[in-house]
A and B are shown apart, each in its own frame.
Chain A
Amino acid sequence: NAGVTQTPKFRVLKTGQSMTLLCAQDMNHEYMYWYRQDPGMGLRLIHYSVGEGTTAKGEVPDGYNVSRLKKQNFLLGLESAAPSQTSVYFCASNQRQVNQPQHFGDGTRLSIL
C-alpha cells in the first residue's frame, strides 16, 4: 500500500526560486493537509483542503500557495523561496468521517540558500 507519497524527498533551492511539492494519496481520502516541521517545534499547519477544488489557510500560510485539482493530489507551491522556508514539509490525509487519524507521508526536506 502506497498511502501518502511526497515528491521530491530532498531539494535545495536558491533564494527567489520557485518550486512545487507534490502530495499524492491512494486512500480516497477527502481531507488533505500540508505541515512544516522545524527543529524543536511541533508541526505547524500551512494549508488544508476538505475536498477537490477547495483549500483553506492554516496557521502559517504566508509565502505558500496550494491547489487541489484532483482528489488524490494536493500541491504546495513556493513562488519566491526564502531561507526562512527551509524546513521539512509533511503532507497528511484522512477520511471525512469524524475522528479519523491522519496518515502522513515521509516528508520533503527543503533547504533554501
Chain B
Amino acid sequence: KQEVTQIPAALSVPEGENLVLNCSFTDSAIYNLQWFRQDPGKGLTSLLLIQSSQREQTSGRLNASLDKSSGRSTLYIAASQPGDSATYLCAVSETGGFKTIFGAGTRLFVKA
C-alpha cells in the first residue's frame, strides 16, 4: 500500500532564506507526483506536477525534483517570502492517475 511521508511537519524560517521540503513514498510505481499549497480555510492549489518520466519541474522560485528509484521528492523554495507561509502537500498518483495518495503536509511559516 502506497504511503506518503512529509518531513518536517512544520518549519519556521526567516524571510529570504532558501528552503527544502521533503516528501518520500513507499511504492515507486507512480503515475505522477504533485506539490500543492493549502492556505488556512482554503482548498489546495497545484504548484507543480512531475510526470513519472520526468526528473524535475520549475515554476518561478519553486523547483521540484523526483527520484522514483529512491522514492523521494523535494520542493525547493528560493528566497522565501512571508506570502509563502502555508501548508505544502505532496501527493502521488497511481497508474491511471485516479487514485492520489497525499502526505500530511509541511506547515511553513516565513518570518518577516
Contacts and interface: CB of A to CB of B under 8 A. Distances in A.
B98 A48 contact: yes
A98 interface: yes
B75 interface: no
A60 B89 CA distance: 19
A43 interface: yes
B21 interface: no
Nearest to A9: B41
A4 B51 contact: no
Contact of A42 (B32, B49, B103): B103
B4 interface: yes
Contacts of B42: 106-107
A48 B100 CA distance: 11
Given A40-B104, A42-B4, A42-B91, A59 B99 contact: yes
A44 B43 contact: no
Contacts of B43: 4, 90, 92, 104-107
A58 B89 contact: no
A17 to B, nearest CB: 24
Interface of B: 4, 31-32, 34, 36, 41-46, 49, 51, 89, 91, 97-105
Given A35-B102, A106-B41, 18 more contacts: A40-B104, A42-B91, A42-B104, A43-B91, A43-B100, A45-B100, A90-B43, A92-B44, A99-B32, A99-B49, A99-B97, A101-B34, A101-B46, A102-B34, A102-B44, A102-B46, A104-B45, A107-B43
20 contacts: A31-B98, A33-B100, A35-B102, A41-B104, A42-B89, A43-B44, A43-B89, A43-B102, A48-B99, A50-B98, A56-B98, A58-B99, A99-B97, A102-B34, A102-B46, A105-B43, A106-B42, A107-B41, A107-B42, A107-B43
